[in-house]
Amino acid sequence: MLEIGAGGGSVSFILKKRYDVTVLNTALPDFPYCEYITERGGLCAFLDGETVLPFAKFSFDAIHHSWVYHSLTPARWREVLLEQNRILRPGGYLWISDGLSYAQLKTIKYLLLHQLGYKVLYEDEIKQKSIIVTFASNPYEVTWESILVKPNTLKNDLSQCK
């Protein structure tokens, strides 16, 4: 499992009791969480989770990120998810939890569900009517949590998704 932006690694350490978990923290080197993760027996790397990740195709059975990419534009979300799709094995799980604008959510769902053929195992979408906040230039309109399953076969040629 790959946990991007792991914070203190709480999710990964719960799952580590049963699964082989790799923790990826995308923070700056002076961020204290990596030390905390390694003290608990985890692996932590200082990598930019918005770039090409240094893992081979189909390296992970599951990828989790929570409240890491909310400030990205819809176009950047697309790039990040295509990279995560590359390193997630067929039949693997993608677990996303974030605060999003409707434009971000539409982009994410269209790419994952319609273009790449992921199936929804769990989804919760909560509208944020009373909260007026922005992440960079994106309004925070909905909290979306989902667990998606990557198809075992390609729905479309991935080159069409770029």
The pLDDT tens digits for 143-156 are 899 999 999 986 55
**29: confidence class by pLDDT, cuts 50, 70, 90:** low
Q: In this predicted structure, what is the pLDDT of residue 119? A: 98
Amino acid at 67: W
* Mean pLDDT, rounded, of the chain: 81
Backbone φ and ψ for 11, nearest 5 degrees, come out as -65, -45
pLDDT at residue 102, rounded to an integer: 84
The residue ranking higher by pLDDT, 69 or 63, is 63
| Prediction pTM value | 0.81
Token pair 């906040």 is found at: 133
The CATH architecture to which 48-161 belongs is: 3-Layer(aba) Sandwich (3.40)
Asked whether residue 16 carries a pLDDT value surpassing 80, the answer given is no
d(CA 45, CA 38): 10
* pLDDT at res. 137: 63
The alpha carbon of 19 is separated from its chain's Cα centroid by a whole number of angstroms, namely: 18
φ, ψ (nearest 5 deg) of residue 80: -60, -45
Between the alpha carbon of residue 146 and those of residues 16, 44, 112, 130, 162, the distances in Å are: 20, 24, 11, 22, 23
Q: For Cα atoms 121, 123, 128, give the angle at the middle one, nearest 5 degrees.
A: 170
In this structure, of 65-79, 101-115, 122-136, 143-157, the range with the lowest mean pLDDT score is 122-136
**Which of 108, 28, 97, 95 is CA-nearest to residue 60?**
95
> Tens digits of per-residue pLDDT, 33-47?
777 777 877 777 777
Nearest to 69 by CA among 50, 88, 83: 50
